[in-house]
Structure 1
Amino acid sequence: MRLAFILSATFALIATRADAQILSVEAVIKTKRDIEIPAEEEGVLKLVPVIEGTRVEEGDLLSQIDVRRAKAAVKIASLQHEAAKKRAEDDIEERYAQKAAGVAYVDWERDIEANNQKANAVPEIQIRQKRLAWERAELQIEKAQKDQELAFKEADAKLAEMEAAQLAVDMRTISAPFKGEVVTLAKQQGEWVNPGDPILRLVQFDVVYAEGDFMLTEIDPAQLRGRPVEVTVELAAGKSKTATGRVVWISPEANSDYSCKVRAEIDNQLINDEWLVRPGIRLLMKVM
């Protein structure tokens, strides 16, 4: 019974695929990711290890603005944080205040005991002065605790300053946000840059988009979702090469003539170190 069900489901799937309408769409190739990478801090471009055509992986160094002053700020902030942390962890003042309070209390109690044994053995003013000395010592404990609490907050503030200084270093080091190819260099090594100045343009080519319009009167959009696609690229000497992909998006909007946009993600190929599917070309996309 179970085998019959599996065979039935398999035949139904084959029939569904066989009945799937092959749709041909005139498409244009577009980039998936194409960005201008700007400077985030001002300074001199000390290092630009790429040129037009350089292929990079995500995280590779693209350029670096002079970081000497920023690194010095990190070192200063680090030392200040270390000093503030040591001050915060130092409890000598509190321990001394506790011992002093203990001694002052014993001294005050001794005079009270002396007066209990013999009236007016110790003048009242002296007892009051010793009580005041004990209370002052108790307050010194509180002050030492408050000072230590403030010292911890100062250490936290110095840590934040150190992190901000490190961020300034990081913002001067520009890395590739994705795998791609440098298409344009707007700045050269040794030039001054300001925040927002474009340094280079990075484009992803290993995956590209093919976009075109289909008619809503020809096929239900739901039937296109996730479908495999093929695009054929015309090459020199009358040759051609096919690349494949999959439908990844269908526009929720339509035009007045009932046309609707469909987008497929195409896996690009390097042939003789050149990309097969180049953004900008028009071709026929078959939705299988």
Structure 2
Amino acid sequence: MKKSLLPLLLALIFGVSAQAELIPSVFIENYRYTIFSSQKGRIKILVAKGDQVQKGDRLFELGIEELQVKLDLASLRIEKSKARLKQLERSKQRKDQKSAKALEQAKLKFSQQKALHAAGELSLNALQLAQVEHDLVVLSEEEEFLTLAQLDLKENQLRLKQLKLEYQSRTESAPATGQVTELFVRSVEWVNKGQKVIELLSINPLFTKIMIPIKKARAFKRNETFKIFINHGADMIETQGIIDYISDEVDPLDQTVKIFLKIENDTLQLKPGTRVRIELP
């Protein structure tokens, strides 16, 4: 009887749903990120130990100097292609009037020849030759719009895009807002793919971990939201987080599994070590 009243009692004390899974007291912790080199190359470290970084800030670069030269050359080729294309377009404009007149004459001539053929005054062979002459004039008009300069420009633009993607792949950014706690290499050193480079202690997001009976844990799903209650003086602050990871390992003694809960901390109001209450869905 006493056991059946426990959820109701917790709901009255903490102001949460009687059906919810309530974890009365847990501590918030930091995420600790280890950032590795994604490829080999000469490294350039862009931060120092102890630096505070925002999510997305660049941490280090790999072999950027040589790639930067390629980017500059690709940009120069694009400018040259644009200049060449502009020159051809000006030339085309001067020919437009003449070309339009030639096209109109070709259409008129072909129309007349079709009429002659329909009247029996022009052979089929002669009409086919007239068709070829007409098509050649039309083709020359269309080819003005697809010059080698246009193709060259497109090729150079694609090359620049490819180089920019490669540049991004050689630049590693902070996965979270936090503090650089360790540098494992120095600038200008050669690093191999997969080599440890930087350790980052996150302050946003934060996380906590809880142990839940395996039968209850099966009802939870990754990325489900949960409520967090924080005592702030006389006030109670409520915020949310998500279930980040549910462990597959079962504690053989009490048949529980570990669940990691991710807590966004955009305002940086929460601090590691803060004691909070968790309400799972």
2:49 is equivalent to residue 55 of structure 1: no
Q: Is the 8 A contact 1:254 1:260 kept in 2?
A: yes
Q: Deviations over 1:112-149 (max 9, x none)?
A: xxxxxxxxxxxxxxxxxxx99x949x736624633641
Q: Is the 8 A contact 2:37 2:191 kept in 1?
A: no
State the partner residue of 1:65. 62
Q: Is the 8 A contact 1:71 1:166 kept in 2?
A: no
Q: Deviations over 1:68-99 (max 9, x none)?
A: 32222122212222333344452435864873
Quick one: distance in 2 between partners of 1:99 and 1:253? 78
State the partner residue of 2:118. none
State the partner residue of 1:201. 199
State the partner residue of 1:80. 77
Q: Is the 8 A contact 1:44 1:192 kept in 2?
A: yes
Choose from 171, 178, 181 the match for 1:183: 181
Distance 1:229 1:177, change over 3 A: same
2:34 is equivalent to residue 38 of structure 1: no
Structure 2 residue identity aligned to 1:197? Q
Deviation at 1:62, TM superposition (A): 1.6
Quick one: distance in 2 between partners of 1:37 and 1:219? 33
Quick one: distance in 2 between partners of 1:230 and 1:51? 34
Distance 1:79 1:247, change over 3 A: closer
State the partner residue of 2:154. 156
Structure 2 residue identity aligned to 1:17? G
Structure 2 residue identity aligned to 1:58? K
Q: Is the 8 A contact 2:226 2:242 kept in 1?
A: yes
Aligned residues: 228
State the partner residue of 2:163. 165
Quick one: distance in 2 between partners of 1:202 and 1:182? 5
State the partner residue of 2:228. 228
Classify the secondary structure of the residue corresponding to 2:167. Answer: helix
Quick one: distance in 1 between partners of 2:217 and 2:95? 86
Deviation at 1:58, TM superposition (A): 1.9
Structure 2 residue identity aligned to 1:189? S
Quick one: distance in 2 between partners of 1:248 and 1:154? 50
Quick one: distance in 1 between partners of 2:264 and 2:185? 31
Deviation at 1:32, TM superposition (A): 4.0
Question: TM (normalized to structure 2)?
Answer: 0.56
State the partner residue of 2:8. none
Q: How does 1:214-225 map to 2 (within 5 A)?
A: 214-215=212-213
Deviation at 1:276, TM superposition (A): 4.4
Q: Deviations over 1:183-217 (max 9, x none)?
A: 33222112013444332232313443221223478
Distance 1:61 1:141, change over 3 A: same
Quick one: distance in 2 between partners of 1:258 and 1:200? 37
Q: Deviations over 1:205-256 (max 9, x none)?
A: 344322122347899978xx7343569xxxxxxxxxxx99766439597957
Q: Which moved more, 1:201-210 or 1:183-192?
A: 201-210
Q: Deviations over 1:24-74 (max 9, x none)?
A: 57x68765462424244x4322x4242333221123232233533222212
Distance 1:285 1:262, change over 3 A: farther
Q: Which moved more, 1:175-184 or 1:213-222?
A: 213-222
Structure 1 residue identity aligned to 2:33? D
Distance 1:144 1:172, change over 3 A: farther
Q: How does 1:107-186 map to 2 (within 5 A)?
A: 135=133, 139=136, 142-143=139-140, 145-146=142-143, 148-151=145-148, 152-186=150-184
Quick one: distance in 2 between partners of 1:65 and 1:190? 9
**The structure with more radius of gyration:** 1
Deviation at 1:160, TM superposition (A): 0.7
Quick one: distance in 1 between partners of 2:194 and 2:215? 47
Question: TM (normalized to structure 1)?
Answer: 0.55
Structure 1 residue runs of 5 or longer lacking an equivalent are 1-12, 110-130, 232-242, 279-283
Quick one: distance in 2 between partners of 1:18 and 1:72? 60
Distance 1:44 1:258, change over 3 A: closer
State the partner residue of 1:277. 273
